[in-house]
């Protein structure tokens, strides 16, 4: 009887041990099921627990320009191609390539001796004809006083009068020949018709120059001060340009590649009278004084046409605005260092900034870097651009 009692007590002890082990295993399983692989409680976003480093920028309110941007081409204000108006030997070139010249400066000399001789010949012939005309006029006076008395036949008087008239015509023709000879002699000395910069010399001393040789110009002069920049804008922007042109001159800034920090300021000077139907654009021209010669014909430049100013606009760095399935948005950092998902309506882009039409107020802080790890309500710590923490999230 005693042995049987001990056996029953051992069975009870073993049963209690198995139950205890089972409870321990159950608690371990339940605790494991309530956490994810990273050890975080299931159902809780770990991004809300850990402070995520981000950089931020403050939404600013300021006046911003309303601008149109384009690529422009620099064009000379005036371009003159020099050609000889007479044929002769080129005696001298009076300038250097690339030299600045003024209107009236001597450029070329063509051998004037043949034209000087031609002028002397024309002047001598004119003097001869004038002398003959003077004698003929005296004869007309002399015979006119006696023809009425019948001393001289009328036919003879008519002949004398006709001879005088012919000499008068010859004198006028000789005077024209003298003027032409003087003009040709003047053409031997070719002068600059404008202020400008000389191009490459196409002819050299000693060569025979042909008159009006369109295939072989002597040199090209380009006026670069003032100077034009030509550019095109879409036809949809034409009404705005015309609207603001009616209020006054519009400023146009040109940025030379490599010299963007030193812009050139000018004014809109010309709007073409037709839209190009092939491209849907219209040509405009801006004029610049260009005294320092920053702009040069043939250059391509960035053009910024300023129409007006938008006052009290809310501005953020462009990298703060993200685009998702629902449109554009920003993450706004709240005072408790959590972020708020904020849909926004973005407007015009200004260099590195963007105008926010709706969705954020001046003074609010928006995330500019670190978006990928964020979700609504995430804790953040603010970091400078160099990676140094400036503020930590509050627990």
Co-location of 297 and 251 in the same domain: yes
Rounded Cα distance between 16 and 310, Å, is: 83
- The total number of structural domains in the chain stands at 4
Q: Name the pairing type of β-strands 327-333 and 322-324.
A: antiparallel
Three-state secondary-structure class, residue 2: helix
Question: Could you tell me the CA-to-CA distances from 275 to 25, 163, 281 in Å, in that order?
Answer: 83, 66, 6
Cβ neighbour number for residue 393 with a 10 Å cutoff: 17
Co-location of 205 and 83 in the same domain: yes
Rounded Cα distance between 139 and 152, Å, is: 12
Rounded Cα distance between 285 and 275, Å, is: 14
Domain range enclosing 281: 68-77+223-310
Among residues 382, 337, 385, 326, the alpha carbon closest in space to that of 54 is found at 382
Residue 139 lies inside a defined structural domain of this protein: yes
| Residue owning tokens 């015309």 | 242
Q: What are the pLDDT tens digits along the chain (395 aa)?
A: 444 444 454 555 455 454 554 544 544 444 544 444 434 455 555 545 688 999 999 999 999 888 899 999 999 999 999 999 999 999 999 999 999 999 999 999 999 999 999 999 999 999 999 999 999 888 888 777 776 666 777 778 778 889 999 999 999 999 999 999 999 999 999 999 999 999 999 999 999 999 999 999 999 999 999 999 999 999 999 999 999 999 999 999 999 999 888 999 999 999 999 999 999 999 999 999 999 999 999 999 999 999 998 899 999 999 999 998 889 999 999 999 999 999 999 988 887 899 999 999 999 999 999 988 899 999 999 987 655 555 554 44
Q: Which CATH number does the domain housing residue 239 bear?
A: 2.40.30.170
Phi, psi of 233 (to 5 degrees): -130, 155
Co-location of 17 and 56 in the same domain: no
Phi, psi of 59 (to 5 degrees): -70, 120
pLDDT at 38: 39
Residue 285 lies inside a defined structural domain of this protein: yes
Residue 280 lies inside a defined structural domain of this protein: yes
Phi, psi of 133 (to 5 degrees): -65, -40
Residue 165 lies inside a defined structural domain of this protein: yes
| Residue owning tokens 């003298």 | 178
Measure the CA angle with vertex 256, ends 251 and 258; round to 5°: 140
Structure tokens at 13: 């002890």
* Measured torsion, CA atoms of residues 163, 169, 175, 180, in degrees rounded to the nearest 10: -130
Co-location of 83 and 174 in the same domain: yes
Looking at 310, 339, 367, the residue that finishes a domain is 310
Co-location of 186 and 109 in the same domain: yes
Co-location of 96 and 131 in the same domain: yes
Among residues 292, 298, 303, the alpha carbon closest in space to that of 226 is found at 292
Residue 38 lies inside a defined structural domain of this protein: no
């Amino acid at each position: 009887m005693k042995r049987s009692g001990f056996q029953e007590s051992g069975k009870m002890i073993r049963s209690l041990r198995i139950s205890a082990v089972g409870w321990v295993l159950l608690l371990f399983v339940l605790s494991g099921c309530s956490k994810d692989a990273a050890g975080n409680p299931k159902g809780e976003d770990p991004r809300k627990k850990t402070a995520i480093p981000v950089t931020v920028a403050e939404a600013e309110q300021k006046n911003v320009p309303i601008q149109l941007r384009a690529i422009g081409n620099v064009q000379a204000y005036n371009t003159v191609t020099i050609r000889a108006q007479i044929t002769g030997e080129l005696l001298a070139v009076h300038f250097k390539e690339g030299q600045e010249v003024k209107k009236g400066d001597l450029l070329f000399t063509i051998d004037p001796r043949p034209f000087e001789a031609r002028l002397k010949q024309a002047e001598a012939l004119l003097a001869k004809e004038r002398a003959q005309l003077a004698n003929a006029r005296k004869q007309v006076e002399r015979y006119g006083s006696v023809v009425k008395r019948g001393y001289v036949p009328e036919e003879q008087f008519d002949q004398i009068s006709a001879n005088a008239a012919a000499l008068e015509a010859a004198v006028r023709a000789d005077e024209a020949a003298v003027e032409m000879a003087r003009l040709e002699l003047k053409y031997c000395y070719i002068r600059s018709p404008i202020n400008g910069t000389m191009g490459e010399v196409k002819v050299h001393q000693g060569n025979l120059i042909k008159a009006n040789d369109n295939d072989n110009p002597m040199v090209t002069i380009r006026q670069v001060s003032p100077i034009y920049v030509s550019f095109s804008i879409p036809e949809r922007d034409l009404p705005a340009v015309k609207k603001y042109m009616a209020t006054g001159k519009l400023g146009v800034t040109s940025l030379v590649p490599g010299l963007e920090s030193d812009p050139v300021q000018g004014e809109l000077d010309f709007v073409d009278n037709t839209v190009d139907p092939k491209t849907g654009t219209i040509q405009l021209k801006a004029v610049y004084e260009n005294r320092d010669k920053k702009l040069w014909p043939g250059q391509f430049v960035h053009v910024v046409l300023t129409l007006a100013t938008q006052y009290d606009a809310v501005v953020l760095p462009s990298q703060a605005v993200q685009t998702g399935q629902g449109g554009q948005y920003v993450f706004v950092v709240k005072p408790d260092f959590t972020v708020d998902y904020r849909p926004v309506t973005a407007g015009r882009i200004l260099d590195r900034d963007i105008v926010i039409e709706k969705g954020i107020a001046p003074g609010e802080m928006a995330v500019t870097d670190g978006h990928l790890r964020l979700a609504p309500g995430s804790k953040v710590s603010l970091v400078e651009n160099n990676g140094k923490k400036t503020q930590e999230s509050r627990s």
